[in-house]
Structure 1
Amino acid sequence: MKKSKVLLVSLTSIMAVLLLSGCENNMVVFNPEGPIARQITELINFSIALMLLVTVVVFGLFGFIVWKYRERKDNMDYEPPEEHGSTVLEIIWTVIPILIIIALTIPTVKTIYAIDEIPKGYEDQEPLVIHVTSADWKWIFSYPEQGIETVNYVNIPEDRPIDFKLTSAGTMQSFWIPALAGQKYTMAKAETQLYLVADNPGSYVGKNTNFNGQGYAGMEFEVLSQTQKDFDQWVQDVKETAPKMTLEEYEKMLEPSHLGRKTFSNTHLEWVDHSDPHSKNYTNPEMYDRGHGWPGKIFEDKDNYKNKDGNNSESINHKESENEDSHGGDHSGH
């Protein structure tokens, strides 16, 4: 019996050490660097504590009942009397789960509404507006007030609210900066909003958490928090040294691909706002490699940005005809 207890304690200690060592560097959500992230972390910690309490109580009662009502030599022939249930017990084990759900729901709803507003203490500051456009597989950041644009990195001033206005040029993605805020989806012809504040200067990783094809895993960006002075100097440097982007360059950039960092002294907002319900569709389905040798069906899209001269549908139909001929006719089974 003693050996079993020693073995159990040893195994528990080893598992705890392994789990804690694994969390040291990777659990970014438990090291928040801003008020929005802190509210999310507090909710996570509360949920974990409540679930641990429930788990301890349930397993404690389970162990107690198994031990108390185990078979012993003095009750081998004991047969308990027939019972028809207990109304009191049934009410208790129905009410308890309801109370647990309520205990989780109230702080969750409060947090959801709280993080959709400018954090407390920053209401009097004018937020910096940054338009975020996702595309396969890159992130585009437009600063309308400053008239500049970056790709795959975004600079922000510390201790100032940031108002991210999120949309997508094509497929749906999920915008997430674990150390600073929660995640929000980006969708074409729609706009979502995300507020955050960075407490201190530093570099933080942002990523896409919504699977959207082969390039999904590499769709990351850097968030660089700077002092207001350094941020203003960076903006001035970009205006003076960065090249201007053309419409042709922007449309090429939206094609499915991975890009490095890019910086421009103008924004694509002068040509297109992807959150506008009446904007063109900036998708290129014929450029995706599906990995099984068959390009798939490409449907005519009258709102596609390539339909500038009305000839795009004809070229697409011609390409489909060539694909069908080269693959031996109709492949409706794919």
Structure 2
Amino acid sequence: MRPFIRMLTPVLFVLMALTLSGCGEQFIVLDPKGPIGESQKDLIYISTILCAIVIVPVLILTAVIVWRYRDKPGSKASYKPNWEHSTKLEITWWGIPIVIILILAIVTVRYTHMLEPSKALASDKKPITIQVTSMDWKWLFKYPEEGIATVNYIKIPEDVPVKFQLTSDTAMNSFWIPQLGGQLYSMSGMAMTLHLQADEQGSYFGSGANFNGRDFAQMTFTVDATSEEEYKSWIEEVKSTSPALTMEGYEKLTEPGSSEVMLFSSFPVGLFEKIVTQYINGDGGAHQQHGSEPASEDADTADSAAANDESGTDNNAHHHGGH
């Protein structure tokens, strides 16, 4: 029985590794398509290599020691019952981990500062702004400068920075586009800022990274990165062919439940500011957090966009549709 267990153990470890790896599915986090995702991939690799310098030798030595010093007839392993100290060994197994931890700390601090979510990306192109609202269980995206809104769908031009402003209508969630960058929380009463960019045209997976109830698995969305010409054409198409998002329509969206992709040619005046400030307790402003900014910064732009739609004027004359 014991030999059978010894033979079975490696097989079980292999099966566990295949199960956890998704049986060969692509690790999209390690296939970044933007500057933030690329830097975060580098940090993952550096951290993994530094940790492996300690972990791999320890695992190998553990196996060697167990095998060499096992109890067996005729064992030739040295027997030193009175041995208790070795300065060289003490320096080795304490010194190497300390040095690695110091290196890892320096690298982590450097990348943490460099990848601060609210820091604007260096680019000669003007960023576009997308206001993100997490709901139960769907995502609402508003383009305040273009005056349109979508549900569970984002389209952006390639090589153009995107400034995401995040908030939540209800419970806290986590906004995540793995191939473009790490996640950032969306929270009620806050307008958090996240800067990302897609360096290549393509279709990218996005989702909520928090468990937040019955349909949390349906909180996914698609991000299409296209040419600037195609992006402008899409904006005009949405304006001319999609219905407006009314306040009644928004209230309907806030009802718990999943949703298909939806497109809207306009949205109510001051909607993002209304969502952020809906839980104010008379203190004169929404709660703020590191990396956040006042909700009203782009709300005025959104007000102009929606008001422009309602007055029947030409959106193209007022909005910056071609960033």
Whether these two folds match at TM > 0.5 is yes
Contact 2:208 2:219 in 1 (8 A): yes
1:113 corresponds to which letter in structure 2?
H
How many angstroms apart in 1 are the aligned matches of 2:34 and 2:91? 43
1:93 matched to which residue of 2?
Answer: 93
How many angstroms apart in 2 are the aligned matches of 1:241 and 1:153? 16
Contact 1:188 1:274 in 2 (8 A): no
How many angstroms apart in 1 are the aligned matches of 2:102 and 2:77? 44
2:167 matched to which residue of 1?
Answer: 167
Contact 2:246 2:267 in 1 (8 A): no
Q: Which aligned pairs between 1:41-190 and structure 2 lie closer than 5 A?
A: 41-66=41-66, 73=74, 80-81=81-82, 83=84, 85-86=85-86, 89-116=89-116, 117-119=119-121, 122-190=122-190
How many angstroms apart in 2 are the aligned matches of 1:184 and 1:258? 21
CA shift digits 1:38-86 (9 cap, x unpaired): 1111111222222333222112333444466566748799553354x45
Structure 1 pair 25–124 and aligned structure 2 pair: CA distance change class (3 A): same
CA shift digits 1:135-191 (9 cap, x unpaired): 111101111111111111011001111111111111001111111111111001012
CA shift digits 1:180-224 (9 cap, x unpaired): 111111001012221111122211111111111101111111111
More contact order relative to length (CA 8 Å, sep ≥ 6):
2
Structure 1 pair 268–58 and aligned structure 2 pair: CA distance change class (3 A): farther
1:280 matched to which residue of 2?
Answer: 278
Structure 1 pair 281–74 and aligned structure 2 pair: CA distance change class (3 A): closer
1:244 matched to which residue of 2?
Answer: 244
How many angstroms apart in 1 are the aligned matches of 2:253 and 2:184? 23
1:54 corresponds to which letter in structure 2?
V
SS at match of 1:26: coil
Structure 1 pair 82–233 and aligned structure 2 pair: CA distance change class (3 A): closer
Contact 2:18 2:24 in 1 (8 A): no
Structure 1 alignment gaps of length 5 or more: 1-6, 283-300, 304-334
1:280 corresponds to which letter in structure 2?
Q
- CA shift, 1:88, in A, is 5.8
Contact 1:36 1:115 in 2 (8 A): yes
CA shift digits 1:78-107 (9 cap, x unpaired): 553354x45664454333322222222222
How many angstroms apart in 2 are the aligned matches of 1:128 and 1:105? 34
- CA shift, 1:15, in A, is 6.6
SS at match of 1:182: strand
- CA shift, 1:125, in A, is 2.0
Contact 2:247 2:268 in 1 (8 A): yes
How many angstroms apart in 2 are the aligned matches of 1:200 and 1:267? 30
CA RMSD, Structure 1 to Structure 2 (Å):
3.4
SS at match of 2:273: coil
1:227 matched to which residue of 2?
Answer: 227
1:80 corresponds to which letter in structure 2?
P
2:53 corresponds to which letter in structure 1?
L
Structure 2 alignment gaps of length 5 or more: 1-6, 284-323
Structure 1 pair 79–203 and aligned structure 2 pair: CA distance change class (3 A): closer
- TM (normalized to structure 2)? 0.73
CA shift digits 1:272-310 (9 cap, x unpaired): 52564xx2249xxxxxxxxxxxxxxxxxx999xxxxxxx
SS at match of 2:178: coil
How many angstroms apart in 2 are the aligned matches of 1:244 and 1:78? 83
Q: Which aligned pairs between 1:315-326 and structure 2 lie closer than 5 A?
A: none
Contact 1:134 1:167 in 2 (8 A): yes
Give the structure with higher Rg (CA): 1
Contact 2:147 2:267 in 1 (8 A): yes
1:37 matched to which residue of 2?
Answer: 37
How many angstroms apart in 1 are the aligned matches of 2:27 and 2:165? 27
